[in-house]
A and B are shown apart, each in its own frame.
Chain A
Amino acid sequence: MRIAWLLGAFCFGVYAEEPGAARQQELTNMLKHDCGSCHGLPPKGGLGPSLMPDALADKSDALLFDAIRNGRSGTAMPAWQPFLNDAEIRWMVTRLRQR
């Protein structure tokens, strides 16, 4: 059920707008520093696992999207959905892979 919903969100999201330049800068800062407080800077891991491209290579976009959006229960990873819309989360996933 959740997968179906996610797939739907993705198909729809392809056409959603990318975050604007100013917001992209905020998101980059957030990725570096707020994600970085657990995952490191560069994000080679800390309390949270490494987010370097090689560490994410075998993880699907859908999984990463879900981890950021909804968090990971039983771990320290919170849901970022209150602060990020779906297009922003997708933008972040793309950025993580490019690093």
Chain B
Amino acid sequence: MKLLASALLSALAVAGSACADLRATGDLGVVIEREAGTIQIVNTTKPAMLSRIEGLGDLSHASVVFSRDQRYAYVFGRDGGLSKIDLLQDKIDKRIVQAGNSIGGAISQDGKVIAVSNYTPGGVKLFDAETLEQLAEIPAVYGDDNKLSKVVGLVDAPGQRFVCSLFEANEIWLIDAKNPRQPGVKKFKEVGKQPYDALLSPDGRYYAAGLFGEKGLALLDLWQPEQGVQQILDDYGKDDEQLPVYKMPHLEGWTMVGDWLFVPAVGRHEVLVVDKHDWTLVKRIPLAGQPVFVSARPDGRQVWVNFAFPDNQTVQVIDVKDLNTVKTLQPGKAVLHMEFSPRGEAVWLAVRDDDRIAVYDTETFAETSRLPAQKPSGIFFTDRANRIGW
């Protein structure tokens, strides 16, 4: 009898520990559901949805960075909300509303400081990554009458720095956050008209801001910032007809592959390939629409491109070996974002108007899985935690 009881107890203990369901964060991710203002926590290996978290405010334009232990996701909402999500416990750990209108954020090299770029009031704010206590406010003041500019293209950079661009002010700011309560700001003025977004090269050396108000990119070499900002690609396609832009292109990490930088041509149906040794134009690759995201597979062999309205049902794949389009896919209505698995065998696509995530095999281009999601927009996997400039 005693024996039976103890056997029963140990069986219960085993069942109990199985219920605890240990979860490692390395294959987790976050999917933004923009209309409902919710996120899904997903497992990228299974693939499967694990939980849905509500109460995150306006996520119509949201982005995510991860703590370096990959336990927490920081969600930047349109309404200025900054939410720290515990991926292990499926809950909001902390949440503040830090501005009226926000566009994105970054996490510092040491993982201790969160920076947010705001439209209203225009500027950057720094927060303690653990407590979300505000450490500093950097208003994006410009011109003689001290107007505030919208801030875009905020990235983290080596040396505990952040870099951002000022849309109306035509400036790039280099923020030194070694002392995050008293950050230093170096301003680069007249970098080009209306920088709309920016990327950092994977080595953390080059910050490139795309220009909306004129052709080309503004380029800052962070190894020698004293040399100032140079404009590149400022005279390609000068005589081409400019098309209206139905969605702002986005620049983000890993569009630099090997010797080449791949960037969307604003208002045109093409991606530009730039030689990063001398920043000259190597090729203009014609595509099905106006590119929004131009994302390289982690191994750099392929570049996947999605498009602005009215071509957002299409995704095209460029083979980097020949710099040609090798595949055109029609994953569904309104493909908003693409995220590769950490080593790139799969890519997840957010298909907004079909209310689902589509997972594709990047070798065979076959759809391997579908997950329901309500009006999904951004997809963010935890391996971003260890990348500079994401």
* Chain A interface residues (CB < 8 Å from chain B): 29, 32-34, 36-38, 40-42, 44-47, 71, 76, 78-79, 83
Query: Which 5 pairs show the lowest CB-CB distances between chains A and B?
Result: A78-B244, A41-B60, A34-B309, A36-B60, A40-B60
Contact A32 B245 (CB under 8 A): no
A-B contact count (CB 8 A): 57
Determine the main DSSP class of B at the interface with A: loop
Contact of B119 among A32, A36, A46, A79 (CB under 8 A): A46
Contact of B103 among A41, A46, A76 (CB under 8 A): A46
Contact A46 B79 (CB under 8 A): no
Additional A-B contact list (9), CB under 8 Å, known A33-B352, A37-B248, A41-B78: A40-B58, A40-B60, A40-B78, A41-B58, A46-B119, A47-B119, A47-B196, A76-B212, A83-B309
Contact B246 A33 (CB under 8 A): no
Check B237 for interface membership: any CB of A closer than 8 A: no
Contact A76 B245 (CB under 8 A): yes
Contact B245 A78 (CB under 8 A): yes
CB distance from A47 to the nearest CB of B (A): 6
Complex Cα distance A34/B375, Å?
12
Interface string of B203-232 (1 = CB under 8 A from A): 000000000100000000000000000000
Using CB atoms, name the residue of chain A closest to B246: A78
Check B310 for interface membership: any CB of A closer than 8 A: yes
Contact size class for B?
Answer: 20 to 34
Contact A47 B150 (CB under 8 A): yes
CB distance from B42 to the nearest CB of A (A): 22
CB distance from B35 to the nearest CB of A (A): 7
CB distance from B109 to the nearest CB of A (A): 28
Please, which residues of chain A bring their CB within 8 A of the CB of B78?
40-41, 46
Please, which residues of chain B bring their CB within 8 A of the CB of A45?
101, 119-120
Check B353 for interface membership: any CB of A closer than 8 A: yes
Contact of A33 among B150, B248, B334 (CB under 8 A): B334
Contact of B246 among A32, A34, A40, A47 (CB under 8 A): A34
Please, which residues of chain A bring their CB within 8 A of the CB of B61?
37, 40, 46
For B103, B244, B245, B352, the residue with the greatest tally of chain A CB atoms inside 10 Å of its CB is: B244
Complex Cα distance A90/B67, Å?
47
Q: 9 interchain pairs (CB within 8 A)? A: A37-B60, A37-B61, A41-B34, A41-B58, A44-B58, A46-B78, A46-B119, A76-B245, A78-B245
- Knowing A40-B60, A45-B101, A46-B78 touch, does A71 contact B244 (C-beta < 8 A)? yes
Please, which residues of chain A bring their CB within 8 A of the CB of B269?
none
Contact A42 B247 (CB under 8 A): no
Contact A79 B103 (CB under 8 A): no
Contact of B248 among A38, A40, A44, A71 (CB under 8 A): A38
Please, which residues of chain B bring their CB within 8 A of the CB of A38?
247-248
Using CB atoms, name the residue of chain A closest to B247: A37
Please, which residues of chain A bring their CB within 8 A of the CB of B79?
44
Using CB atoms, name the residue of chain A closest to B334: A33
CB distance from A70 to the nearest CB of B (A): 10
Please, which residues of chain A bring their CB within 8 A of the CB of B247?
34, 37-38
Complex Cα distance A37/B103, Å?
11
Please, which residues of chain A bring their CB within 8 A of the CB of B35?
32-33, 41
CB distance from A84 to the nearest CB of B (A): 11
Complex Cα distance A71/B119, Å?
22
- Knowing A40-B58, A41-B35, A76-B248 touch, does A33 contact B103 (C-beta < 8 A)? no
Using CB atoms, name the residue of chain A closest to B375: A33
Complex Cα distance A20/B260, Å?
49
CB distance from A76 to the nearest CB of B (A): 6
